[in-house]
Chain A
């Protein structure tokens, strides 16, 4: 499998740059190479999604940008600085419910800023702004136990946004939600992002979601994963309600499906063809 770099020249200093990174878990014969030779960059103001078969190391890639995992090969750099651990200018949203159940929505959203050491009035001010942005106004004093799954994810998104990250890292944030909530909250995320324009690295296995949200979709191969192809999503923004039924949308979706299918078959075996 030849490795195709997502972009020909490595990006600007201000970008998030992957320089030939790889990740191997374990050592010796029992080791697994999860990610191999990934290079690329997330330019300023771009929404990049990563799709690929299950277990292809998408989340590993994200954890390396977030500084939670150290690549065993190559480096990730943000703003020209090599990522060595969690940074103050990245923020993560996870698939699972990561709200703090004993805190109110307001204190959950303010959590990241609290850890940063911002005084109470300041962090509540921006937390309230983010709560409004994600459409949870009126729920400030509720606790996560009183919220639906979709609302809890909005709390997590607001918490991440409140930290005003240079890079927003989202690891299948809607993966645990039902289809309806998922589409609805995806649309909301897009509205929010069009206002904030952070860099986003978005992991998903939902191809339609990836096309709808992104500027670029990176297709990862089966393990050991490389970026097999970078598909530029040239749909105009803003993307209104009917975007899903545009012929170009279908084209891109089909193209991505074909790419992912080949990789999924490699992981799952020829039986996958029947599915």
Chain B
């Protein structure tokens, strides 16, 4: 925690230059990869029934994005992700607090939770579909349960990792339970909880898109799966590109938020 929150004191300028160089190399790799894909697909080294040239994907995207159907799919997927993530957060954090507050419960329940982490929950999808019907409900249940686990586990671990002296300090100034949680525990635990929250969000994205891909009536994942089954490679890749862009975007926002929270907590 210390290492992460410590500002770079020595030679900050050089560090910035290093970061800039790394980012340039990173972009060069991306551009090179896209160029290689373009070349191999154009020359037929990769069959166009598997992968279409990136330029074609881009053109396809340009024609898809303005359509009403795309708007509906994107809105459906985004609201599903956000709902699942919110449920994961609202249940995961209190669950983590409970596991920390009642260590006996933590010892008993932790194996279940860790197993839940390792288990392919998507296997329950057909059952949920049968019970809840073909709508966003089953997807939300699966994605929320996937999202909840890393959030709960990191919350518990983060609270356990708080320096004991902070409990003593809060106690010595007679902090109320509310002050104890809001002014001491959560701020102290945030740097450790946040990676779990980030993971929870990513799991919500994966869960949503994967379930949509398997079976749904709407959504970006559904559309990619639909074109896959239709053998429409160009449209399938266009939707896959949408998912990739969405993931990168979400991750960038979360990383930015993580840095801000660390710097300006409370």
Known A-B contacts A66-B172, A145-B2; A98 and B166 likewise in contact (beta carbons under 8 Å) = yes
**A112: Cβ under 8 A from any B Cβ:** yes
The interface size of chain B toward A, counting residues with CB under 8 Å, comes to 26
Cα distance A92–B165 in the bound complex, in angstroms: 11
**A102: Cβ under 8 A from any B Cβ:** yes
**A149: Cβ under 8 A from any B Cβ:** no
Known A-B contacts A94-B165, A115-B183; A102 and B174 likewise in contact (beta carbons under 8 Å) = no
Chain B 152-172 near chain A by CB (<8 Å), digits 1 or 0 = 000000000001011011011
Cα distance A67–B174 in the bound complex, in angstroms: 10
List residues of chain B with CB within 8 A of the CB of A90: 172
**B77: Cβ under 8 A from any A Cβ:** no
**B24: Cβ under 8 A from any A Cβ:** no
Cα distance A88–B9 in the bound complex, in angstroms: 39
Stretch at the interface among B90-98, B184-192, B223-231: B184-192
CB within 8 Å of B: which of A79-138? 85-88, 90-92, 94, 96-98, 100-103, 107, 111-112, 114-116
Interface centre among B2, B6, B171, B179, by most chain A C-beta atoms within 10 angstroms, is B171
Task: Give 8 CB contacts A-B under 8 Å.
Answer: A90-B172, A92-B169, A98-B166, A100-B184, A100-B188, A101-B188, A143-B5, A145-B5
Please determine whether B172 and A96 come into contact, CB atoms closer than 8 angstroms.
no
**B173: Cβ under 8 A from any A Cβ:** yes
Number of A-B residue pairs having CB atoms within 8 Å of each other in the complex? 69
Interface of B is mostly: helix
List residues of chain A with CB within 8 A of the CB of B176: 115
List residues of chain A with CB within 8 A of the CB of B262: 102
**B266: Cβ under 8 A from any A Cβ:** yes
The interface size of chain A toward B, counting residues with CB under 8 Å, comes to 28
A170 CB, nearest partner CB in chain B, Å:
12
Q: A85, A97, A145, A146: which contacts B174 (Cβ < 8 A)?
A: A85
Interface of A is mostly: loop
Known A-B contacts A114-B183, A115-B179; A102 and B171 likewise in contact (beta carbons under 8 Å) = no
A79 CB, nearest partner CB in chain B, Å:
16
Cα distance A253–B234 in the bound complex, in angstroms: 88
Known: A68-B168, A101-B1. 19 other contacts (CB 8 A): A86-B174, A87-B174, A91-B172, A92-B168, A94-B169, A98-B168, A100-B187, A101-B2, A101-B5, A102-B5, A102-B265, A103-B265, A107-B266, A111-B173, A111-B183, A114-B183, A115-B174, A145-B6, A146-B6
Cα distance A217–B9 in the bound complex, in angstroms: 43
